[in-house]
Amino acid sequence: MRRALPLALAALFLGGCASHKPEDYNGTWINQDAIDAAVGSKSLRQALASKGPVFEWKIDTTGQRASYSNGFEAAEGQLTAKDDQWQVTFDGGQAEQLELDGDELVQAPGTSGQEQVFDKAQDPAPADAPIGTSFEKALYRAYLGGNWKIVEGPGKGGVAHFRDNGTVDGLPQLDRFALCLAGDCTSISGEHDSLWLERDQRGGPWIFKRDGDTLEILQARNGALPDEMPQLAPGPRQWLLQRD
């Protein structure tokens, strides 16, 4: 009897640790595995594809709504409790299963493909920001954060900064950037990584190659006919950057 009581208490304690309240699910969750893979890879699109396709979840158990972003599109669905999991049902019948495993949100294999794991965003975007913004901010910090010395190209000798809010300084005549994560921009750039560079809301696509702390930005040449979908290929190098 003396032994049975501690065992019963241990089982009760462990059971309590494994359970989660509905509000534990609330908030913004990002695919940190995808960010880590991107940082350690020479190909952004391949790294993201290997850990995707979903990059961010935003969950509201009180409103019974959940939304996700795949870096190109966003979808919102009805959130309902199902045993020890939650199910998100979208228009058209698509459904995804979510559950907590410790401090991580796990999306079960299903309509979107492989199992995926998400961490609670440490610096979530404002509530009115588009879904996916928190993931982009974290990706930009990890992937392009820091001081980039301009080794070749306009502004040579200066330092460029890619901010997590999508602004860039140090590259002459440019003030904003966006990495291509998924969707049409990946289709037109083929196997190459691409980004958008602009000033005063006017800009265009560029091809880039990142290898650790070295970043090349190249002109994007369009090999398609005027009535065809653009097909971009690397052109002359515009900038060579080295991160301190």
Q: Using pLDDT thresholds of 50, 70 and 90, give the confidence band for residue 83.
A: confident
Contact 47, 56 (CB under 8 A): no
- pLDDT value at position 19? 67
User: Alpha helix (H) ranges present in 63-145?
Assistant: 133-144
Q: All domains of the chain, ordered by start, with CATH? A: 22-142 (2.40.128), 146-243 (no CATH)
User: Which tokens belong to 128?
Assistant: 């009115």
Q: Using pLDDT thresholds of 50, 70 and 90, give the confidence band for residue 93.
A: confident
The Cα–Cα gap between 145 and 162 comes to 6
Choose the weakest-confidence range: 3-17, 149-163, 188-202: 3-17
DSSP string across the chain? -TTHHHHHHHHHHHHHHH---GGGG-EEEE-HHHHHHHHT-S-HHHHHHHH-S--EEEEETTTTEEEEE-SS-EEEEEEEEETTEEEEE-TTS-EEEEEEETTEEEEPSBTTBS-EEEEE-SSPPPTTSPTTHHHHHHHHHHHH-S-EEEEESTTTTSEEEE-TTSBEESSTT--EEEE--STHHHHHTTTSEEEEEEETTEEEEEEEEEETTEEEEEEEEE-S-TTS---EEEEEEEEEEEE-
Reply yes or no on whether the pLDDT at 132 is more than 90: yes
- pLDDT value at position 111? 74
- pLDDT value at position 16? 38
> How does pLDDT run across 199-243, given as a tens digit for each residue?
999 999 999 999 999 999 999 999 999 999 999 999 999 999 999
Residue in 108, 107, 102 with CA at minimum distance from that of residue 18? 102
> How does pLDDT run across 26-56, given as a tens digit for each residue?
999 999 999 999 999 999 999 999 999 999 9
pTM of the model: 0.90
